[in-house]
Amino acid sequence: MPAGVEQEKAVQGAAMEIAVSRQDLLRELTATQSVVERKTTIPILSNFLLEADGDRIVITATDLDQSIRTSCTAKVRKPGSCTIPARKLYDYIRLLGDGDISVKLLENHWVQIRAGRSNTRMVGMARANFPQVPEFPESSVTQIPVASLRNLIARTIFAISNEESRYTLNGALLILKAESLAMVATDGHRLAHIEKTGESFSGISGEKKVLIPRKALQELQSLLLNTESEALDFADDDSTLFFRVGHRVLTSRRLTGQFPNYEAVMPRDNNKFVIVRSQDLSASIQRVAQFADERSGAIKMRIEQNELKVSSSSAEAGESEDTIETPYSSDPIVVGFNSAYLIDFLKAIGNEGEVRLEFKDAQSAGQMRPEDASDDYKYRYIIMPMRI
């Protein structure tokens, strides 16, 4: 046997050995496992990359479009790296009791995991096959408050298009200005726009627009919900977006293409309006929607002298009408909307407080916004009418 091969076998056998707390490891695996592709045609993408050095173990997962890299402290007896099937490792570690776990790389990429009286060997793959994940660029970093971004995502993510063919609508547009940040999402039938003022971003002159894919927003939302950090670091280059939340880094391929000119569809002269309690409106719509046409989900809103009537009917289910009392003295108006779109918005504001519904006529887009909005958040939801 050639000396080189003999040497490589020896190195493989001794390349990595660590001890790590089960609780720490599980926390980081939980944060990364959602990125791993379940049904991939490239087997290595179903694996975590584990790299041990110094006093830390770094865990990376990628599906080529995005990646998460995170770490936790470990006793590194021998530095090195290995790849382990992600789902299997995550499920196994979850079933272990608390305490220390030892992870050791054996020959032929097998990995041994010992904890208490449990001893398991898993089939890994060659580290060399794991894709290169882009490094966070330290050159142009913008700090964004975690609470603000979390709020922006929650108020827009539901309006992103599910149609793969509408490529530029498969994400939300983040707009950074020197003193504000905003996010907008649309699927062509409705549009959610929220702006947070009173921020201060050094290094941004004019505005910076970034189109973030939905999948990356979902990962980011989860990272932002599970962090103590008050701000995250955002950076980008020609092909990649980087979000560093505490000790975790999410990267995502940029969405290319032109996001639609959303300002053109913002209603200007919706001068007829009613103000109702979000809870009342949500309950009425949910009741009435039970009797809407199953395919379209269309309900009718009729506003006349001091009342808002919500109704629907279908040949299969029957008909239903709810009346909400509210001050109104303009001309009567009747508009049809997709009930699910209305409910999405009311859910996003937590079904709390009052909501203002603004109309122009039966053919024009309606606008909804929280009536008792805080001064620093401006939230608007535009929804196209339906023929009914």
pLDDT tens for 48-76 read 999 999 999 999 999 999 999 999 999 99
Question: 388 in a domain, yes or no?
Answer: no
The percentage of residues in the chain with a pLDDT greater than 90, rounded to a whole number, is 81
Q: At what angle do helices 214-225 and 146-154 cross, to 10 degrees?
A: 130
Question: 134 in a domain, yes or no?
Answer: no
Q: CB within 8 A of 387, min separation 6: which ones?
A: 336
Choose the final residue of a domain: 235, 262, 289.
262
Q: Report the largest interatomic distance among the alpha carbons of the chain, rounded to a whole angstrom.
A: 94
Mean pLDDT over all residues of the chain?
A: 92
Examine the domain organization and report whether 236 and 213 are in the same domain. yes
Is the predicted pLDDT of residue 14 greater than 70, yes or no?
no
Supply 44's token pair: 């290595």
Domain count, the chain: 3
Examine the domain organization and report whether 235 and 283 are in the same domain. no
Examine the domain organization and report whether 153 and 246 are in the same domain. yes
Neighbour-count burial of 17, counting CB atoms closer than 10 A to its CB (0-12 exposed, 13-18 middle, 19+ buried): middle
Side-chain half-sphere CA neighbours of 266 within 13 A? 12
CB 241 within 8 A of CB 66: no
Question: 372 in a domain, yes or no?
Answer: yes
Is the predicted pLDDT of residue 38 greater than 50, yes or no?
yes
Domain residues for the domain of 68 are 3-129
Q: At what angle do helices 86-95 and 22-32 cross, to 10 degrees?
A: 140
Taken as a whole, the chain contains a residue count of 388
CB 300 within 8 A of CB 385: no
CB 114 within 8 A of CB 100: no
Examine the domain organization and report whether 251 and 282 are in the same domain. no
Examine the domain organization and report whether 232 and 277 are in the same domain. no
Q: What is the pLDDT of residue 173?
A: 96
pLDDT tens for 203-256 read 788 899 999 999 999 999 999 999 999 999 999 999 999 999 999 999 999 988
Examine the domain organization and report whether 247 and 297 are in the same domain. no
Question: 137 in a domain, yes or no?
Answer: no
Examine the domain organization and report whether 122 and 181 are in the same domain. no
CA distance 172 to 199: 20
Examine the domain organization and report whether 336 and 221 are in the same domain. no
Question: 135 in a domain, yes or no?
Answer: no
Examine the domain organization and report whether 38 and 147 are in the same domain. no
Is the predicted pLDDT of residue 4 greater than 70, yes or no?
no
Examine the domain organization and report whether 228 and 273 are in the same domain. no
CA distance 18 to 65: 30
Q: What is the pLDDT of residue 373?
A: 64
Distance of CA 6 to CAs 1, 3, 124, Å? 7, 5, 20
- Write the DSSP assignment of 262-306 as a string of letters: GGGGS-S---EEEEEEHHHHHHHHHHHHTTS-TTT-EEEEEEETT
Examine the domain organization and report whether 122 and 23 are in the same domain. yes
pLDDT tens for 72-115 read 999 999 999 999 999 999 999 999 999 999 999 999 999 999 99
Q: What is the pLDDT of residue 6?
A: 41
Q: What is the pLDDT of residue 292?
A: 94
- CATH code of the domain covering residue 187: 3.10.150.10
Question: 77 in a domain, yes or no?
Answer: yes
